[in-house]
A and B are shown apart, each in its own frame.
Chain A
Amino acid sequence: MADVLMSEAQTTDEAHHSSTGLSNEKLAMWVFLGSECLLFGGLISTYMFNKDRIGPDDIGPSDVFDIPFTSVSSFVLLMSSLTMVFAVSAITRGDLRSNRIWLATTAALGAVFVAGQVYEFTAFYSEGLGFTTNLFGSAFYALTGFHGAHVTIGIIMLMSLYVMSLRGNLTSERAETVEIIGLYWHFVDVVWIVIFTIVYLFPQ
C-alpha cells in the first residue's frame, strides 16, 4: 500500500495534466461548435434551395424584407460580440464588476436582437407570410427561428452567469466559463453574419 501511495505522490504533478494541456470544457465547446456548423449549414442550404420555389404571385423575399431594420438589429448582435469579449477580458483581469456590466450589456443587446426578430416576424405575418404560406415562409422562419432560439439560449446562459456573479460564484478563477459561453455567443453571431448576407443581402 505504501508504495502505491508513493508512486501516486510522484505522479501528483501530472494529476491535473490533460494530454493536450487544454481544458476539457473548452475543447468540448469547440468540438460542439464544429458540429453546429453542419446543423446551420443544413438549414441555410435548405433555405437557399427553397426560397425561390414559390408561385409567381406568392409572397416572396423581396416583398417582405425590411433591410434597414434588419441591418440595425444585425449591427446590434454584432456589437454584442464586442461587449462579450469585454466581459471575458474583465473577468480575466479580475474586474468582477465590469464583468457583470458587460455580461448584462451583452444579454441586453441579444435581447434587443431577439425582440427585433419577434417584431420582424409579426410584421411579416401581418403582410401575409405565415410559416405555412409557402416554401419561402417555411424555410425562412425555420432558419431564422432556429437561430433566434440559439440566441435566446445564449441570453439565458449569460443571465445565469450574471446571477452567479452577483452571488459571488463567478470569480476570475472561473474566467474560462465566461470564455466558453462567449465562444457560443460569438458562434451564434458568426452564423448571423452568414444568414444576414445570404438571406437578406443577396440580390433576390
Chain B
Amino acid sequence: MSTVNPPQTDTPNMSTPVQPAAEAATSATGVTEANGSHAHPTDWLYVKVAIALALLTAFEVFTYFESVHGWSDTALIVMLVAMMVLKFFLVVAFFMHLKFDAPIFWRLFVFGVVLAMVIYMLMLTAFRYW
C-alpha cells in the first residue's frame, strides 16, 4: 500500500503533504488544501472510509445469515436500510468528494436522489405496495 502514503511534492501546484500521524480521525483534519480552491481528503481518510464500508457490509451480510434472532422482518428491513443509507452516504460524501466540493453538486445530486425516492415511493403507495 505504498501509494497510500502521503504524496511526494513533485508538482509545483500541489500543497504541502500532511503526515499521516497528523491526520486525526475527523474529516476536518483529514483534508489538505490544494490550490487554495477546494480541499482534498487524504488517502488515509479513504482507507478509513473503506474500512467502515467493509464493516458495514459484513454486518449486513451477517444479519442475513443469523437473521438476528427475534427481530421481525420490519425491524430487519429498517436496520438494513439504515446501513444502506450510511454506506451510500459514506461513498458519496468521501469518495465522490461531495463533503469537500462545491455545494451545487451536493444540491443537484441530493435533488435527484430525493426526487427519485419520493416519486417512486408515492407510486408504490398508490399501488398499496407497503
Q: Count of A residues near B, CB < 8 Å? A: 58
8 Å CB contact of A86 from B3, B34, B65, B87: B3
Apart from A41-B120, A89-B7, A172-B13, what are 8 other A-B pairs with CB-CB below 8 Å?
A33-B112, A34-B111, A37-B116, A38-B115, A44-B120, A85-B95, A92-B7, A203-B76
Contacts of B67 in A (CB 8 A): 203
Residues of A contacting B11 in the complex (Cβ-Cβ under 8 angstroms): 93-94, 172
Instruction: State whether B76 touches A71 (Cβ < 8 A).
Output: no
User: Which residue numbers of B lie inside 8 Å of A, CB to CB?
Assistant: 3-4, 7-11, 13-14, 34, 40, 42-43, 46-47, 49-50, 53-54, 57, 60-61, 63-65, 67, 73, 76-77, 80-81, 83-84, 87-88, 91-92, 94-97, 102, 104-105, 108-109, 111-113, 115-117, 119-121, 123-124, 127, 129
Is A81 within 8 A of B95, CB to CB? Answer: yes
Tell me if B91 and A186 are in contact (CB < 8 A): yes
Contact partners of B113 in chain A: CB under 8 A: 34, 37
Q: How far is the CA of A197 from the CA of B10 in the complex (A)?
A: 43
Q: List residues 1-59 of chain A with CB under 8 A from any CB of chain B.
A: 20-22, 26-27, 30-31, 33-38, 40-42, 44-45, 48-49
Q: Can you list 17 A-B pairs with a CB-CB distance of less than 8 A? A: A27-B104, A34-B111, A48-B124, A71-B57, A74-B57, A78-B54, A82-B50, A89-B40, A92-B7, A93-B7, A93-B10, A93-B14, A94-B14, A98-B3, A186-B92, A189-B95, A190-B91
